[in-house]
Amino acid sequence: MVATHSTRMLILGSGPAGLSAAIYGARAGMAPIVVQGIQPGGQLTTTTDVENYPGFRDVIQGPWLMEQMQAQAEHVGAQMMWDQIVEIDLSRRPFRLIGDGGTIYSGDVLVIATGAQARWLEIPSEEHLKGRGVSACATCDGFFYRGKKVAVIGGGNTAVEEALYLTNHSHDVTLIHRRDSLRAEKILQERLFKHPNIKVLWNREVAKFVGGGQPEGLVAIDLRNTRTGQIERLETEGGFVAIGHSPATELFRDHLELDEDGYIKVETGTTRTSVPGVFACGDVMDKVYRQAVTAAGTGCMAALDSEKFLAEADFEASLAA
């Protein structure tokens, strides 16, 4: 027998956005089911020190914060399901999702909080030093490099914006780009080139992140000249990979309206998508801020939008009856 789970509010994703939606949804009596997906807890479970989430004076750990959010959601009545969705049907309500084991999930409303993943260089030394000098979020981690030498890898808007942001903390910022020109918007390039604390290394790519010290952390980056192949070493204590993000929206292609970068389009000021009754929150629809606190805020919005949608649908159904 195929297992079937039905609920008023079905949530896909269990990061700050999904769990915040679950907390608000449970308190509103919608008995949400959260399908946690391939990475329960979202990107914060791969983050160590968190110092910018409101309410905590001291540094907290990302995995601990997500454990607490999940415990709070369960305490108020949300149900967690360990599954990965492989098929969806948004053509009619209730919406129908199928897990990789065949389990069916049915929801009168659907909240999508599948998030986005930072793109990485995918080299062994990068994985080894993640969280120990190598990061993909200057806004999240820049504070820890106050007064230190840092480097940003990339050539688009994200890289230039991160380099400019890091000048709030560092007097020595190096932008590393594998080509001889940037893809970033011209106004951002002008700000970058005029900044006295930023220098640019052209035609360079990362060959290796170099660790050292006790405890081990990033001490340098070996750079390969893309024209000559020559290797040179740049001493630095922070390396920020800024080559973009990939939203987890492949499942929704041809079902929901997406923007040119693959993020779910929502109506301005809301979490409403192109399908009535389907809402999107967190990094899957936000390519600007991408912070835990903003994801949690849009999760709250998605729950309130869901509650309003169901109330209106129930009222219309009562008039028709």
- Hey, which residues are catalytic here? 137, 140-141
Q: Which two tokens stand for residue 76?
A: 């108020």
Neighbours of 114 (CB within 10 A): 30
Q: How many CB atoms lie within 10 A of CB 317?
A: 9
* Interatomic CA distance for residues 259 and 137, integer angstroms: 23
With residues binned 3-state (H G I as helix, E B as strand, rest as coil), the percentages for the chain, rounded to 5, are 30, 30, 40
Cβ proximity of 263 and 284 under 8 Å: yes
In 3D space, the residue among 187, 194, 130, 189 whose CA is nearest the CA of residue 154 turns out to be: 189
37, 125, 150, 203 from 225: Cα distances, Å: 40, 18, 19, 6
Strand pairing class (116-118; 245-247): antiparallel
Contact of 117 with 43, CB cutoff 8 Å: yes
